A and B are shown apart, each in its own frame.
Chain A
């Protein structure tokens, strides 16, 4: 099981490697984080709370949803419950990274876990599969990504309603395009392609059936079970 090394990633210091590998995440986070800041400002959150949510919660889609719920006058308990459901997928990401980090102590794992997002998970799972387990690079990627998210939130809050649209530049496509690249790097064999197609279509069906907030975690569980099932079935 080998994965082609991304050009040039073997060279340079661990922090330089982190800077290079985190660049696409930052490109995606800046516009989305700014959009969150703008919406938080418009919803009536204070500057401090807007930035604190990016520091303490650090979960893009959950933050955008929470701001919309705050604006709609939804109760705190409902906002917290929604956040739980929306972020439950990170549990599977955390479990999937675990087998690679046997040599880390509990504190390092607990700190690393704080900054598991869709994007950092995707980058780390590709790195780990390639055998790149450098701790400095791991923490460097996470720290740079979150700082860019916090700075973008703050800038968005300051810009408020006057922020120019990011659509003409196609910046809103940064995250989908990054997911495309990361997904392709996960395609180790035909079964992975099949699992991806199966999971993606399952997610769409779930959304169309009204299970928006559960779609990612349910489709992931169903898709991974499908993959593991087909693998053990074809090996017999």
Chain B
């Protein structure tokens, strides 16, 4: 593999990744946005997190998996409850990982 071409590709990846990260922040932070836009943006965090999380929990290799062997899905139930009750990042991550590890250890 030609490492010079790899490097140039990485530079291109840098440009197309950084510009969309930077432009809205620099352009919008100093402005007072119209109320409907602010309201719309206030739903972005919940929407974007759920769009990444749901497929991770419900799909396995692109297929729906709600069988008992989908530990990602079942571990999410107590993890959600713990996060809701305690608001603890660390506790939620530790419990989720422990449950997935336990599922794999005891049930394969």
Chain A residues near B (Cβ < 8 Å): 4, 6-7, 21, 23-24, 27-28, 43-46, 48-49, 52-53, 56-59, 62, 66, 70, 76-77, 79-81, 83-84, 87-99, 101-102, 104, 106, 109-110, 112-114, 116, 118, 121-122, 125-126, 167-187, 192, 195-197, 199-204, 207-208, 215-216, 219-220, 222-228, 231-232
* Chain B residues, CB < 8 A from A125: 45
* Chain A residues, CB < 8 A from B13: 53, 56-57, 62, 66, 79-80, 83
* Residue ID in chain B nearest A104 by CB atoms: B29
B14 to chain A, nearest CB (A): 4
- Pairwise interchain contact A112-B25, C-beta atoms closer than 8 A: yes
- Pairwise interchain contact A122-B49, C-beta atoms closer than 8 A: yes
Q: How far is B17's CA from A62's CA once the two chains are assembled, in angstroms?
A: 9
User: Quick one: which of B6, B30, B84 contacts A184, CB cutoff 8 A?
Assistant: B84
* Chain A residues, CB < 8 A from B86: 7
* Residue ID in chain B nearest A52 by CB atoms: B10
* Residue ID in chain A nearest B6 by CB atoms: A49
A contact patch SS: helix
User: Quick one: which of B41, B43, B55, B97 contacts A192, CB cutoff 8 A?
Assistant: B43
A-B contact count (CB 8 A): 302
- Pairwise interchain contact A177-B39, C-beta atoms closer than 8 A: no
Q: Assuming the A-B contacts A53-B13, A225-B40, are A181 and B89 also in contact, with contact meaning beta carbons closer than 8 angstroms in the complex?
A: yes
Give the interface centre of B54, B83, B97 by most chain A CB atoms within 10 Å: B54
- Pairwise interchain contact A98-B1, C-beta atoms closer than 8 A: no
Interface size on B, residues (CB 8 A): 77
- Pairwise interchain contact B22-A113, C-beta atoms closer than 8 A: yes
Chain B residues near A (Cβ < 8 Å): 1, 3, 5-18, 20-30, 33, 36, 38-59, 62, 71-72, 75-76, 79-80, 83-84, 86-90, 92-93, 95-102, 104-105
User: Quick one: which of B1, B46, B48, B97 contacts A174, CB cutoff 8 A?
Assistant: B97
* Chain A residues, CB < 8 A from B58: 204
B21 to chain A, nearest CB (A): 5
- Pairwise interchain contact B23-A200, C-beta atoms closer than 8 A: no
Q: How far is B76's CA from A80's CA once the two chains are assembled, in angstroms?
A: 34
User: Quick one: which of A171, A184, A204 contacts B55, CB cutoff 8 A?
Assistant: A204
* Chain B residues, CB < 8 A from A215: 51, 55
- Pairwise interchain contact A203-B55, C-beta atoms closer than 8 A: yes
Extra A-B contacts (12), CB below 8 Å, given A177-B96, A196-B47, A197-B50: A57-B14, A90-B21, A94-B25, A95-B24, A98-B28, A170-B97, A172-B100, A176-B76, A181-B92, A184-B87, A195-B46, A196-B46
* Residue ID in chain A nearest B81 by CB atoms: A184
Q: How far is B3's CA from A48's CA once the two chains are assembled, in angstroms?
A: 9
User: Quick one: which of A99, A171, A232 contacts B28, CB cutoff 8 A?
Assistant: A99
